[in-house]
Amino acid sequence: MIDIKFVIGGREVSPDQVGAAFEDMLQTAVLEAARGSVEGRLGSVRCPVHGGAPQVTATGDSISHLRFEVGGCCSKLIEAATAALGKE
């Protein structure tokens, strides 16, 4: 399983913590779509040396301006995960 964290405005959030207002529902849908896309692209990526899965952190001032960072046990995993995220 891929470890995905969202840090919005300096605060870690998960899609189910956003809330129930209409705008919040849209933000929840955006976070869920981002999580699904990342999981779909990285679901099978594992470190060829250690067998670990990548960790992804999406940070930004708002949901519409997220930057994704990939981490992991070593540079081989990070390279593989970054390549998988870059595929269309």
Average pLDDT over residues 55-74: 92
pLDDT in tens, 15-62: 767 665 556 788 888 888 999 999 999 999 999 999 999 999 999 998
Q: How many domains is the chain partitioned into structurally?
A: 1
Structure tokens at 75: 């540079």
CB atoms within 10 A of CB 83: 12
Please check whether residue 85 is in contact with residue 38, taking contact to mean a CB–CB distance below 8 angstroms.
yes
Q: Which range of residues forms the domain containing residue 51?
A: 3-86
The residues that bridge with 71 in the sheet, in sequence order, are 55
pLDDT score for 54? 97
